Structure 1
Amino acid sequence: MLEEQLDWPAIHDAARRLEQGELVAFPTETVYGLGADAENPAAVANIYAAKGRPSNHPVIVHLSPEADLDYWAQAIAPDARKLIAAFWPGPLTLILKRAAHIPDTVAGGQDSIGLRCPSHPVAQALLRTFKNGKGGVAAPSANKFGHVSPTTAQHVRDEFGDDQNGLLTCILDGGQSDVGIESTIVDMSRGHAVLLRPGHISAAQIAAVIGSLPALPDQGAPRASGTLESHYAPATPVVLVDSEHLSETLQNLHAHGRRVALMQYAAAANVPVVASIALSATPASYAHDLYAALRAMDSAHADVIVVQTPPSDDAWNGVNDRLRRAAHDSSGILLKLLQN
């Protein structure tokens, strides 16, 4: 999207609303965010209220490319600055030590803060306009807590169209998000890299910049956005079935009269289902379409969404992480559906 294609009146209106303490939904390259002035605790509290989000679950603060990082964070490790130089603007969130004057409402009460600089042109235009580029916009995904994240403006409308509180006052439409899953989150608040949430930027890409693979989460890792075991879930139960057992599982569900919505990336058995979608066998393309596919299958009113388990190599880590969390609360559902 070129600068001359941007809807500047809408962007200026959205920035004004943010400055007045209102909530604004806006596109990023990952998913759509539900934004508020990060330095306005009452506005940030409205994010939690609109989403039904626990107040101890941190949100990510979005910054313009020209933002002063030292205003938001302290004791920034050299490796953190290397990652910023390599991947910002882009789908990478860094957890850093929070500057003392930044309200802890964005951090779920912790002494750390999640920061990222999105690459989407609408997001950048909004961030450069809001407080003349010096502000930060706290923005988790623009959906009810735990639900499938939105990758289009219509997804946001679907989530909040019946919101009786009217907390969301503006939605900027920037088309479909390019990446399609949330940003990679790396904790750098303790001086070394820890991968808290996989995403489009892989552990190998991070290692290529800082010289070593990021560690896995440990007991001392800060809480971070989107890392609960159950997350990104549609209303319909989700089960992951490997390719070897997919045909048999579909046949058994059909024999028991179960309504199945199927998501696959390779040809499956010719078994009747109420809805199906074929996703790409390329991880980036699969991720781009994942949440839209989950939403479409959820609308089929099936008994279960069967997902053909994607490959397990590193390039698929972000996709597999989201699918695992979407299926977390569906443990045992297949056994129940196959009982007479």
Structure 2
Amino acid sequence: MALFFHCSDPDTRVDAIQTAAHSVSSGELVVLPTDTVYGLGADAFDAVAVADLLRAKGRGRDMPVPVLVGSWSTIDGLVSTVDSRTRLLVEAFWPGGLTLVVRHAQSLTWDLGDSRGTVAIRMPLHPVAIELLEKTGPMAVSSANKSGHPPAQTAAEARAQLGDDVAVYLEDGPAPEGVASTIVDVTGPHPQILRVGAVTEDALRAIVPDIIGLGAPASP
């Protein structure tokens, strides 16, 4: 049976984080709060656990799972290169609601789906998520819902959809934003917006003026 913790209690929160971290290291799934919506997470380097995550959501490998990290510096160990524009976006919006699609380092032995050499990375602005990520390292995290259903705004909503497919649920009240992250592809010569969410296009353009807007043709 899945374990359910209320992280608003400081004493419970310590035990909750430790239990969730142990479950992740054991190849199990956890639901965690983030600054956008609740996430369904697994060890990013455990291919079986990531496959279980996709299965629990009813989602195919054609939609690779994003990765959450607990610090700015983690991106340097996950990608082949971090150019100046990517660094500016990280410094401006991490932790926060910006996901960056980057080319991951060829040395990494993970399987997040049919990613074709790229990975979507984000650092969430939520203390429970950060505390968990500090213990687990990078986690593969997708929205905590069945594919085609609305993203969960609480762990209780996630449990109603995912049930015992998840080992540990971390509840910390309604998601602050309730809006999915903005996604920017930084694998090309100019960053390109793939989805507008928690971070607006105007905010992005203030940091990287040559960013390509949503729906605009990509530069060659």
TM-score, shorter chain, exceeding 0.5: yes
Is the Cα–Cα contact under 8 Å of residues 201 and 213 in structure 2 kept in the other structure?
no
What is the CA-CA distance between 1:191 and the residue it aligns to? 3.3
The letter for the 2-side match of 1:114 is: A
Aligned partner of 1:74 in structure 2 is: 80
Is the Cα–Cα contact under 8 Å of residues 187 and 194 in structure 1 kept in the other structure?
yes
Gaps of 5+ in 2: 1-6
* Distance change in 2, residues 1:2/1:155 (3 Å): closer
Indicate yes or no: 2:86 matched with 1:60.
no
Q: How does 1:104-115 map to 2 (within 5 A)?
A: 105-115=111-121
The letter for the 2-side match of 1:168 is: V
CA distance in 2, matches of 1:158, 1:55: 24
CA distance in 1, matches of 2:69, 2:145: 21
Gaps of 5+ in 1: 222-340
Q: How does 1:76-91 map to 2 (within 5 A)?
A: 76-91=82-97
* Distance change in 2, residues 1:26/1:86 (3 Å): same
CA distance in 1, matches of 2:211, 2:193: 9
Root mean square deviation of aligned Cα: 2.2
Comparing both structures, which one devotes a greater share of its residues to helix? Answer: 1
What is the CA-CA distance between 1:156 and the residue it aligns to? 0.6
Match 2:28 to one of 22, 25, 41:
22
Aligned partner of 1:211 in structure 2 is: 209
The letter for the 2-side match of 1:12 is: Q
CA distance in 1, matches of 2:195, 2:202: 14
Q: How does 1:1-340 map to 2 (within 5 A)?
A: 4=10, 7-65=13-71, 67-103=73-109, 105-130=111-136, 135-161=137-163, 166-217=164-215
Q: How many residues align?
A: 213
What is the CA-CA distance between 1:211 and the residue it aligns to? 2.1
The letter for the 1-side match of 2:127 is: P
* Distance change in 2, residues 1:168/1:190 (3 Å): same
CA distance in 2, matches of 1:77, 1:123: 27
SS at match of 1:7: helix
CA distance in 2, matches of 1:43, 1:158: 21
CA distance in 1, matches of 2:105, 2:31: 26
CA distance in 1, matches of 2:61, 2:213: 27
Aligned partner of 2:4 in structure 1 is: none
The letter for the 2-side match of 1:29 is: D
Q: Normalising by structure 2, what TM-score? A: 0.89
CA distance in 2, matches of 1:55, 1:68: 25
Is the Cα–Cα contact under 8 Å of residues 56 and 165 in structure 2 kept in the other structure?
yes
Is the Cα–Cα contact under 8 Å of residues 76 and 97 in structure 1 kept in the other structure?
no
SS at match of 2:193: strand
What is the CA-CA distance between 1:200 and the residue it aligns to? 1.4
* Distance change in 2, residues 1:3/1:116 (3 Å): farther
Is the Cα–Cα contact under 8 Å of residues 107 and 114 in structure 1 kept in the other structure?
no
What is the CA-CA distance between 1:68 and the residue it aligns to? 2.3
Aligned partner of 1:283 in structure 2 is: none
What is the CA-CA distance between 1:158 and the residue it aligns to? 1.1
What is the CA-CA distance between 1:128 and the residue it aligns to? 1.0
What is the CA-CA distance between 1:105 and the residue it aligns to? 2.3
The letter for the 1-side match of 2:65 is: V
Tell me which of the two structures has the higher relative contact order, counting C-alpha pairs closer than 8 angstroms and 6 or more residues apart. 2
* Distance change in 2, residues 1:38/1:12 (3 Å): same
Q: What are the superposed Cα offsets for residues 185-241 of structure 1, whole Å, 9 maximum, x if unpaired?
A: 0000113111111101011100101123433357879xxxxxxxxxxxxxxxxxxxx
Is the Cα–Cα contact under 8 Å of residues 104 and 110 in structure 1 kept in the other structure?
no
CA distance in 1, matches of 2:72, 2:208: 23
Aligned partner of 1:248 in structure 2 is: none
Of stretches 138-147 and 106-115 in structure 1, the one that deviates more from structure 2 is 106-115
Q: Normalising by structure 1, what TM-score? A: 0.59
Is the Cα–Cα contact under 8 Å of residues 206 and 214 in structure 1 kept in the other structure?
no
* Distance change in 2, residues 1:54/1:217 (3 Å): farther
